[in-house]
Chain A
Amino acid sequence: MSPTPAAAPDWGWATEYENVSGEVAICGVGESDHSKASGRTTRDIVGQAVERALADAGLEPRDVDGLMYISMPDQMDVAGFHEYFGTDHDMWESKGGGGMTHAAAAPYEAAHALRDGLASVILNTFGVAWATQRSNMVGGPGESHAQELFKQNLEIPMGWFPQPVYFATVARRHMFEFGTTQEQLGAIAVAQRRNANHTPTAVMHDRTLTMEQYLAAPTIVAPFRKEDCCLISDGGGAFLMTSTERARDMAKPVVEVAGVGLGNSSTGTHWAQQPAFTSTPQVFAAPVAFEMAGVTHDDIDLYTCYDPFTIHTLMQLEDSGFCPKGEGGAFVEGDTLNFDSGKLPTNTHGGLLSHAYVLGIAHVVEVVRQVRGEAAAQVPGAEIGIYGGYTGPQAATLILRRVP
Chain B
Amino acid sequence: MDVRPAFPLPDTAWKPIHEFWAGAAEHELRIPKCDACGRLCWYPREKCRHCKTTSFTWQTVSGRGTLFSWVVVTHAFLPQFADLVPFAPALVALEEDPAVRLATRIVDCDLDAIEFEMPVEVTFRPISFAGVDGEVTAPLFVPAR
The listed residue (B21, B71, B105) touching A223 by CB distance below 8 A is B71
A205: interface (CB < 8 Å):
no
Contact status A169-B91, CB under 8 Å: yes
Most buried by B among A143, A153, A168: A153
The listed residue (A172, A218, A272) touching B71 by CB distance below 8 A is A172
B103: interface (CB < 8 Å):
yes
Contact status A221-B103, CB under 8 Å: no
Find chain A residues with CB under 8 A from B21 CB: 153
Q: How far is the CA of A162 from the CA of B7 in the complex (A)?
A: 14
Contact status B77-A162, CB under 8 Å: yes
Contact status A154-B20, CB under 8 Å: yes
Q: How far is the CA of A204 from the CA of B104 in the complex (A)?
A: 36
Contact status B71-A221, CB under 8 Å: yes
Contact status A168-B71, CB under 8 Å: yes
Q: How far is the CA of A65 from the CA of B21 in the complex (A)?
A: 53
Find chain B residues with CB under 8 A from A168 CB: 71
Closest A residue by C-beta to B14: A153
B25: interface (CB < 8 Å):
no
B59: interface (CB < 8 Å):
no
Find chain B residues with CB under 8 A from A220 CB: 73-75
The listed residue (A138, A152, A164, A224) touching B3 by CB distance below 8 A is A152
Smallest CB separation, B20 vs chain A (Å): 7
As a 0/1 sequence over residues 219 to 252 of chain A, the CB contacts with chain B under 8 angstroms (1 = contact) are 1111110000000000000000000000000000
The listed residue (A153, A156, A164, A272) touching B91 by CB distance below 8 A is A272
A380: interface (CB < 8 Å):
no
B99: interface (CB < 8 Å):
yes
Q: How far is the CA of A222 from the CA of B100 in the complex (A)?
A: 24
Contact status B89-A152, CB under 8 Å: no
Find chain B residues with CB under 8 A from A164 CB: 77
Contact status B73-A159, CB under 8 Å: yes
Closest B residue by C-beta to A275: B99
Contact status A152-B11, CB under 8 Å: yes
Smallest CB separation, B64 vs chain A (Å): 18
Closest A residue by C-beta to B11: A153
As a 0/1 sequence over residues 90 to 112 of chain B, the CB contacts with chain A under 8 angstroms (1 = contact) are 11000000011101110000000
Most buried by B among A137, A158, A170: A158
B70: interface (CB < 8 Å):
yes
Find chain B residues with CB under 8 A from A4 CB: none
Given A143-B1, A157-B136, A159-B81, are A273 and B104 also a contact pair (CB < 8 Å)?
A: no
B124: interface (CB < 8 Å):
no
The listed residue (B8, B71, B136) touching A165 by CB distance below 8 A is B71
Given A154-B43, A158-B105, A160-B89, are A142 and B8 also a contact pair (CB < 8 Å)?
A: no
Contact status A153-B10, CB under 8 Å: yes
Contact status B75-A221, CB under 8 Å: yes
The listed residue (A152, A158, A222) touching B138 by CB distance below 8 A is A158
Find chain B residues with CB under 8 A from A154 CB: 10, 17, 20, 43, 103
Given A154-B103, A158-B104, A162-B77, are A221 and B72 also a contact pair (CB < 8 Å)?
A: yes
B9: interface (CB < 8 Å):
yes
The listed residue (B1, B16, B84) touching A150 by CB distance below 8 A is B16
Find chain A residues with CB under 8 A from B73 CB: 159, 165, 220-221
Contact status A159-B42, CB under 8 Å: no
Q: How far is the CA of A164 from the CA of B104 in the complex (A)?
A: 16
Contact status B1-A146, CB under 8 Å: yes
Smallest CB separation, A48 vs chain B (Å): 29
Find chain A residues with CB under 8 A from B90 CB: 160, 169
Q: How far is the CA of A199 from the CA of B81 in the complex (A)?
A: 37
Q: How far is the CA of A153 from the CA of B6 in the complex (A)?
A: 11
Contact status B136-A222, CB under 8 Å: no
Smallest CB separation, B41 vs chain A (Å): 10
Q: How far is the CA of A176 from the CA of B3 in the complex (A)?
A: 36
Closest B residue by C-beta to A266: B49
Give 7 CB contacts A-B under 8 Å.
A150-B43, A153-B10, A157-B138, A161-B89, A162-B78, A219-B74, A272-B91
Q: 4 closest A-B pairs (Cβ-Cβ)?
A: A220-B75, A173-B69, A222-B72, A160-B103
Known: A159-B87, A176-B69, A275-B99. 13 other contacts (CB 8 A): A152-B7, A152-B8, A157-B9, A157-B10, A158-B138, A159-B73, A220-B74, A220-B75, A221-B72, A221-B74, A221-B77, A270-B43, A272-B103
